[in-house]
Copies of this chain bind each other. A is one copy, B any other.
Amino acid sequence: MSGTVLALSGGVGGAKLALGLSRVLAPGTLTVVANTGDDFRHLGLAVSPDVDTLVYTLAGLADPQRGWGRRDESWHFMDALESLGGETWFRIGDADLAMHVERTHRLAAGHTLGQVTHAVVSRLGIAARIVPMSDDAVATRLRTDDGWLDFQDYFVRRRCAPAVRAVAYAGADIARPAEALREGLAGASLRAVIVCPSNPLLSVEPMLALPGVRDALAACPAPVVAVSPVIAGQAVKGPTVKLMRDLGLPASAAGVARRYAGLIDALLVDAADAEAVAEVGIEPVIARILMDDLEQREALARTVLATAAQLATLPVAERLATRTAAGRHGARP
């Protein structure tokens, strides 16, 4: 089975599957579109957390425990910054800092975020393409009981403590989606779209909020397969469950299915969640969606691709009709 694969990913969980995909797919066939809604300026530096987590993970440089940043990291910059009275709530390691300084420098020189990312990906010898969802700024913001918060303020500084009442993607309505999204979703050679096990509201929906992307995904002729970031009511990582609860959404794989209804053809879930997902009208595919080690990441990637291959045996019209019907069904409260 040939063709290209497009993966939509946030940070840690998504990056694990992206790594698995990059290892089981032929070099040059995988494009990972990274959420940039978490991007922000810190200390004047352009920080792109999800892009970097993907880059570090696919380059084998990611810290295996921490969930962000680089392995074997040192913190002399932060210590010195603290001694100078600088801001220390957002921690940047010495080696990680090189990415932010170099990116900021190249952006100031007129390069796009996509160009900067491409250069780094090439330099580090990563076989997949990693593409920021847009070169234009999009900022995920959260309306909480403490007012509207920038994402990193909510996520890092306040450790997701404030209850979230609404999520907005500032700038998304006028940001131009990356070509990999705009043209990739309609590409004739597209074999599958994979929605990685990332937070639907914080990592995937910022992409869907870009002009035309939601419609292009809904109409995508290739199979669209998602992996649930929630197992039996528990987020594998991060604030997914708390956030969904805050917003009054079902904090479950079925809740995830509902967010994606009309956009995907199948959702990989834990056995415990299959029935509830089926009730939404999305085809559940039972799989081991925890990825504790590299072997499990590759195994899940193979399952995802096999699911897509299975779906690809159906006529496109039939698949799209089912997808659309699930959208009508799943959208019901």
Contact = CB atoms under 8 A, between A and B. Distances in A.
Interface of A: 43-45, 70, 73-74, 76-81, 83-86, 93-99, 101-102, 104-105, 108, 119-120, 123-124
A79 B101 contact: no
B123 A99 contact: no
A43 B120 CA distance: 16
Contacts of A84: 98-99, 102, 120, 123-124
Given A43-B102, A44-B105, A105-B44, A97 B85 contact: no
7 contacts: A44-B108, A74-B74, A78-B98, A80-B95, A81-B98, A83-B124, A86-B102
A323 B98 CA distance: 52
A28 B248 CA distance: 61
B105 A43 contact: yes
Number of copies: 2
Given A97-B97, A108-B44, A102 B81 contact: yes
Given A76-B76, A78-B98, 19 more contacts: A43-B102, A44-B101, A44-B105, A70-B80, A74-B76, A76-B95, A77-B94, A77-B97, A80-B95, A80-B98, A80-B99, A84-B120, A85-B102, A85-B119, A85-B120, A85-B123, A86-B98, A86-B102, A94-B94
Contacts of A93: 76
Most chain B CB within 10 A, of A76, A77, A93, is at A76
Contacts of A43: 101-102, 105
A80 B98 CA distance: 6
A77 B77 contact: yes
Nearest to A82: B98
Contact of A96 (B79, B80, B124): B80
Nearest to A99: B84
Nearest to A46: B44
A119 B102 CA distance: 27
Contacts of A98: 77-78, 80-81, 83-84, 86
A79 B95 contact: yes
